Amino acid sequence: MRRAFSDSLLKIARQDERVIFLTGDLGFQVFDDFVAEFPKRYLNMGVAEAQMVDCAAGLALEGWKPIVYSIASFMTGRAFEQIRLSLGYHNLTTVVVGAGGGYGYAASGVTHHAKEDMALMSLVPNFSVVNPGDPTEVTELLPQLLNLPGPSYMRVGKFGEPKVPSVEPIVLGKGRLIRPGERVAFLTTGSSLVQATEAADRLAAEGKRPVVCHFHTVKPLDTALLADVAAQVNTIIAVEDHGLMGGLRSAVVQFLAGSANMPRVVGVGPDDGMILGNPTQAEIMARFGMGTDALVTTCRDLWTSSYGSS
């Protein structure tokens, strides 16, 4: 995803001279091509995310289209007041980018964990919040965010994530139906798309066809698609590399709470605690049942339970 982001940034900057990139002392070698081509539109602000956001706000007020970039935990937590007041209050077209959202920097410890970044950004008025699931979504969504009449937040992963094809177009605010099915639905955001799709493909070999529906945009949520999926199934499994409060699951439950026939919603993701030590991202995903094997087992159990039976 990070390579897709840097390539898309360079392409957009060539098309729009108002695009300017600010980084919090992060992204060396990743953005070398951008620096070489647009040295005056690349600002390394140092380890000072709050200052970086205020600078971006000033640039936006002068007609620029800033993109601010740092590790997700620092970008959203350390600069939250500036994001809320300088960007949200003034409704400025600025893209805030969190690198390694969730547990992308798992082994660096609690300081680098960002299990609450989407919750924080969703609370800020005027903000759109996107969590791409593959490199293609990064490429397609970044220019759409820059064309918004207001601020936005985008998570980006690391390197090597596979592309997940589907016939659905990638449109800001619209979900993507990845696999049609019945009875149980995987709802995903971010990198959980890959594991849920793999799980659905394995389950299909057993004659079980769960729906896979991906929401790269968490705010605003595609409630029309969500309502359509909820009407087709008895159980929803919301999978996300984010705390179960304030992310996709919370948005789904909040919308469906008013439904007369609300399906059961099961959240798969990190619990309320902090993860100490330096486990890898894969180890954390296994701990919280987010890996492909665990999702297959969870779906099997729900498929035959009283909630999952037709």
Kindly report the CATH number assigned to the domain that includes residue 208.
3.40.50.920
Pull the structure tokens for residue 244: 């179960």
Nearest to 233 by CA among 287, 164, 179, 156: 179
Residue type, 218: V
My answer on whether 151 and 223 are in the same domain is no
Q: Is 307's pLDDT higher than 80?
A: no
Q: Could you tell me if residue 167 is inside a domain?
A: no
- Condensed to tens digits (0 to 9), the pLDDT of residues 57-94 reads 999 999 999 999 999 999 999 999 999 999 999 999 99
My answer on whether 131 and 27 are in the same domain is yes
Q: Which residues contact 172 (CB under 8 A, 6 or more apart)?
A: 128, 130, 141, 144, 145, 148, 217
Q: Could you tell me if residue 31 is inside a domain?
A: yes
Q: Is 238's pLDDT higher than 60?
A: yes
My answer on whether 121 and 183 are in the same domain is no
Pull the structure tokens for residue 294: 């665990």
Q: Could you tell me if residue 310 is inside a domain?
A: no
Q: Could you tell me if residue 162 is inside a domain?
A: no
Give the CATH number for residue 136. 3.40.50.970
Q: What is the pLDDT of residue 308?
A: 42
My answer on whether 111 and 190 are in the same domain is no
Residue 76, CA distances (Å) to 29, 106, 206, 247 in order: 23, 17, 42, 14
**Residue range 272-299: mean pLDDT, rounded:** 92
Least confident of 56-65, 282-291, 297-306: 297-306
Average pLDDT, the chain: 93
My answer on whether 49 and 108 are in the same domain is yes
Taking the C-alpha atoms of residue 162 and residue 191, their distance in angstroms, rounded to an integer, is 10
Nearest to 103 by CA among 277, 289, 270, 291: 270
My answer on whether 118 and 192 are in the same domain is no
- Condensed to tens digits (0 to 9), the pLDDT of residues 172-213 reads 999 999 999 999 999 999 999 999 999 999 999 999 999 999
My answer on whether 119 and 251 are in the same domain is no
**Burial readout 146-159 (b: 16 or more C-beta within 10 A, e: otherwise):** bebebbbbbbbbee
Q: What is the pLDDT of residue 28?
A: 81
Q: Count the alpha carbons within 13 Å of 121 in the hemisphere toward its beta carbon.
A: 33
Taking the C-alpha atoms of residue 21 and residue 14, their distance in angstroms, rounded to an integer, is 13
Q: Could you tell me if residue 166 is inside a domain?
A: no
Q: Could you tell me if residue 12 is inside a domain?
A: yes
Q: Could you tell me if residue 77 is inside a domain?
A: yes
**Residue range 245-266: mean pLDDT, rounded:** 92
Is residue 158 very low, low, confident or very high in pLDDT (cuts 50, 70, 90)? Answer: confident
- Between the two ends of the chain, the Cα-to-Cα distance in Å is 39
Pick the last residue of a domain from 105, 127, 156. 156
Taking the C-alpha atoms of residue 75 and residue 122, their distance in angstroms, rounded to an integer, is 14
Q: Could you tell me if residue 171 is inside a domain?
A: no
Q: Is 305's pLDDT higher than 80?
A: no
My answer on whether 129 and 184 are in the same domain is no
Q: Is 309's pLDDT higher than 50?
A: no
My answer on whether 151 and 40 are in the same domain is yes
My answer on whether 204 and 76 are in the same domain is no
Pick the last residue of a domain from 101, 125, 156. 156
Q: What is the pLDDT of residue 304?
A: 84
My answer on whether 108 and 221 are in the same domain is no
How much is the pTM?
0.94
> Number of structural domains, the chain?
2
Residue 5, CA distances (Å) to 169, 248, 269, 293 in order: 18, 23, 25, 30
**Residues of the domain holding 69:** 2-156
Pick the last residue of a domain from 128, 156, 184. 156
My answer on whether 193 and 269 are in the same domain is yes
